[in-house]
């Protein structure tokens, strides 16, 4: 089987498994991205996310992370759902970021990735490599760009003409040489809606985000009390934030998710409508079992909920 046919078989299988896009890039050191990441870290834009600076050599070069790697297969999986459009502009109800309203994407996509890996191994009679879903030092956004799946938007999210930015990114790094895709061009133009909409000015310049000011960081990654100056700006975001994505024109045209497990859970939406009334640690664990929201633990969620309830009074 020639390289072109093999590449197409893998792409077709990825789409049949429920992924919405699949691209291929040559495994190599990302020198430009390494320079930008190093500068971002030096400026302490990562806040308490110390892990962003760990394993720097592996993060910028997949051949160090996966010895013998020749190809990075980058995949996108949409989580966009019709109910998401109805949530835009809601101000009287606590909001959970749209990506976290369904099942934990790590588990959902890891299973799909393993199926794709096994399929590829069967095609070629053996394969070495690893699969990743936001779980290792991999520059997933950079690889999505290299694989031609989108461009970096001014809010630093990857944008795709068909999917907007409502998607997860996953990778399969393997020791198989394939046909490689070319990066696409930037289609943000003069638009700066995401920059203008951010209430904390976290997007300090186009394509650059200061995590320490980002509502998603403050409500998920930040430990301890949240600085009083950000309380009002957090508005009704109890976990994460979608403001810069909600205003993006490309998201108004985004196709819907195929994978049902990534659809919002109705019980989460219903609980939000009641402002999570009477929610305690046990009921929190039950409500968000198998959900990304568990990342904050009850202590973090309770902290966020107290701020949001104050804003809604």
Q: How far apart, in whole angstroms, are the C-alpha atoms of residue 239 and residue 304?
A: 7
The DSSP bridge partners found for residue 158 are 152
Q: Which of 189, 163, 307 is nearest to 245 (CA)?
A: 163
Residue 62 and residue 43: Cα distance in Å, rounded? 25
Task: Give the residue among 178, 169, 188, 26 at the shortest CA–CA distance from 106.
Answer: 169
186-191 long-range contacts, Cβ below 8 Å, gap at least 24?
Answer: 186/151, 186/152, 187/151, 187/159, 187/161, 187/250, 188/151, 188/153, 188/154, 188/159, 191/154, 191/249
Q: Token pair for residue 210?
A: 């200061």
Question: Nearest CA to 56 among 68, 43, 38, 73?
Answer: 38
What is the rounded CA–CA span in Å between residue 170 and residue 215?
Answer: 24
Identify the three-state secondary structure at position 191: coil
Task: Give CA separation, 120 vs 12, 14, 175, in Å.
Answer: 11, 10, 11
Query: Which single residue is written with the structure tokens 């497990």?
Result: 261
β-strand partners of 76: 21, 169
Compute the distance between CA of residue 166 and CA of residue 253 in angstroms, rounded to an integer: 11
The residues that are catalytic are: 134
- SS3 category, 190: coil
């Amino acid at each position: 089987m020639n390289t072109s046919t093999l590449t197409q078989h893998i792409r077709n299988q990825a789409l049949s498994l429920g992924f919405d896009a699949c691209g291929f890039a040559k495994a190599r050191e990302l020198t430009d991205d390494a320079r930008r990441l190093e500068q971002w870290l030096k400026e302490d834009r990562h806040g308490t996310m110390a892990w962003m600076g760990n394993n720097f050599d592996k993060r910028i070069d997949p051949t160090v992370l996966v010895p013998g790697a020749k190809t990075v297969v980058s995949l996108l999986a949409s989580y966009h759902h019709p109910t998401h459009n109805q949530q835009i502009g809601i101000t009287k109800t606590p909001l959970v970021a749209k990506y976290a309203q369904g099942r934990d994407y790590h588990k959902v996509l890891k299973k799909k990735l393993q199926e794709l890996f096994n399929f590829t191994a069967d095609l070629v009679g053996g394969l070495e490599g690893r699969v990743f879903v936001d779980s290792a030092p991999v520059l997933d956004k950079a690889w999505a760009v290299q694989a031609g799946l989108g461009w970096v938007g001014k809010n630093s999210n990857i944008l795709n003409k068909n999917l907007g930015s409502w998607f997860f990114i996953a990778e399969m790094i393997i020791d198989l040489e394939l046909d490689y895709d070319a990066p696409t061009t930037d289609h943000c133009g003069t638009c700066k809606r995401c920059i203008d909409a951010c209430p904390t000015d976290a997007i300090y310049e186009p394509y650059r985000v200061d995590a320490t000011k980002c509502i998603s960081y403050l409500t998920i990654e930040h430990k301890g009390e949240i600085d009083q100056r950000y309380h009002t700006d957090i508005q009704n975001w109890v976990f994460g934030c979608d403001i810069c994505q909600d205003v993006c024109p490309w998201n108004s045209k985004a196709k819907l998710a195929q994978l049902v497990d990534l659809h919002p859970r109705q019980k989460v939406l219903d609980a939000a409508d009641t402002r999570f009334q009477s929610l305690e640690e046990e009921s929190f664990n039950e409500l968000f079992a198998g959900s990304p929201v568990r990342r904050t633990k009850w202590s973090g969620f309770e902290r966020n909920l107290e701020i949001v309830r104050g804003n809604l009074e």
